[in-house]
Amino acid sequence: MTDLAQALAALEATAQADLASASDAATLEAVRVRWFGRKGSLATILRGLGEMDAAERPAAGKLANEVKRRLEVALEERQAALVALAQAAALTAARLDVTLPGQPVTIGRLHPSTQVLRRICQIWATMGFQIYRSRDVESDEMNFELLNIPAHHPARDMWDTFYTTTEGVLLRTHTSPGQIRAMREFHPEPIRVVLPGMCYRYEQITARSEIQFHQVEGLAVGRNITMTDLKGTLISFAHRMFGAERKVRFRASYFPFTEPSAEMDVECLICGGSGCSICKQSGWLEILGCGMVHPRVLQNGGYDPDVYSGFAFGMGPERITMLLHRIDDIRYFWANDLRFLEQF
Ligand code: DAH
């Protein structure tokens, strides 16, 4: 019994020393296996109990279990201590300065021409015009023929076209082909639509012209629509868009798909009418083309020109955006320069 007691005391002392000196998880695990494992010293002693006298066994067992229990507690404490040490070391290694400013969140915004496009459509919506979406890739027939612009007609010079490799398929040069599509869809109902969309032209890029740009086309078809309706409606639009005092003028013009045709100018907002490079010193900025829908175009849309009449217009939101924000070069719109875009 005393032999056993001595052996246990020696074992406990050495085991405690081992535990105390284990300075990382791997060493501690090796210590655990050495003392507590199935082949460890403690197990060997406990197995030896079976061979003792029955009279001595309970006291010896109690002693051995007490030692085992104390060592188990010591092991757990050491494990916890090592975890705490590792955490503390990790925290010091990756010190976090909570007073540093955070990453600024970049808030997206709508492109300036999208903003103006939406405003234009909203104004037309309040005037009873619904949005009609047409396609960017068009047929030669829709983009030209049915709009009274036959092949070889000199008026085709007005639109330098991007053709595709497929015969008769092109990128629309204006939103006007949507007029035919709308008429064919709405016939025989009266029509009041605006068609917003991107247009494409094979052009020299300058401060005033780009190869891609938006247009908002408008179309009204009914039984008694006159030039007076056209003028009144467009003046009303201009006043809502640019302010009620804004001066507006109509000039006679020519488009193959309208007769008569006109263009509407708004007083130049950049120079206030005194003349600058944007308005080519005229004091006026052309913002749209318009006219009474040509009888042949009405017919192509399915409407009998003896019964129906209509007006149409097409305007460029980028030009209007330039007016509103005093932008002097159209090339800023698609250059994707954040210094420009972030101002809106
Ligand atoms: N499609 C013309 C262009 O791109 C603009 C235009 C003029 C549209 C007169 C119309 C219109 O609907 O009536 O230059």
Q: What's the pLDDT tens digit per position in 287-322?
A: 899 999 999 999 999 999 999 999 999 999 998 898
For 62-114, how does the pLDDT look when each residue is reduced to its tens digit (9 = 90+)? 888 888 898 889 889 999 988 998 898 888 888 888 899 988 888 889 999 99
Please give the DSSP secondary-structure letter assigned to residue 163.
Answer: B
Q: Cα–Cα–Cα angle for 216, 320, 343, nearest 5°?
A: 115
Distance from C-alpha of 282 to C-alpha of 264, rounded to nearest angstrom: 14
Same domain, 220 and 329: yes
Domain-located, residue 40: yes
Report the distance separating Cα 239 and Cα 130, nearest Å: 20
> Are residues 320 and 284 part of one domain?
yes
On whether the pTM is more than 0.85, the answer is no
Residue 146 tokens read as 């049915």
Q: How many domains does the chain have?
A: 2
Residue of the CA atom closest to atom 3 of ligand 1: 174
| pLDDT for position 117 | 95
Q: Which residue has the higher pLDDT, 271 or 312?
A: 312
Is the pLDDT at 192 greater than 70? The verdict is yes
What is the CB < 6 Å shell around ligand 1? Answer: 174, 176, 217, 255, 258, 289-291, 312-314
Rounded to an integer, the average pLDDT of 151-173 is: 88
Cβ distance 15 to 35 under 8 Å? yes
Q: How far is the CA of 208 from the centre of ligand 1 (A)?
A: 17
Residue 214: which pLDDT band, with cuts at 50, 70 and 90? very high
CA separation for the pair 3, 10 (Å, rounded)? 11
Cβ 278 vs Cβ 285: under 8 Å: yes
CA 166 / ligand 1 centre spacing (Å): 25
What strand order describes the sheet that includes 309-315?
A: 130-131, 191-200, 212-222, 309-315, 284-293, 258-267, 248-255
Boundaries of domain holding 322: 112-341
- Given the CA of residue 175, which atom of ligand 1 is nearest to it? 1
Q: What is the pLDDT of residue 146?
A: 97
Does 101 reside within a domain? no
User: Does 212 map to a domain?
Assistant: yes
304 and 225 in a common domain: yes
Q: Looking at the CA of residue 217, tell me the nearest atom of ligand 1.
A: 12
Check whether residue 333 and residue 210 sit in a common domain. Answer: yes
| Residues whose CB falls within 8 Å of the CB of residue 215, separated by 6 or more in sequence, listed in order | 174, 175, 196, 197, 199, 314, 315, 316, 317
Tell whether 64 and 117 lie within a shared domain.
Answer: no
C-alpha 79 – ligand 1 centre gap (Å): 82
Same domain, 50 and 199: no
- The answer to whether residue 270 is domain-embedded is yes
Of 61-65, 115-119, 203-207, least confident by mean pLDDT is 61-65
Question: Does residue 84 lie in a domain region?
Answer: yes
Dist. CA 169 → ligand 1 center (Å): 20
Query: How remote is the CA of residue 289 from the centroid of ligand 1, in Å?
Result: 5
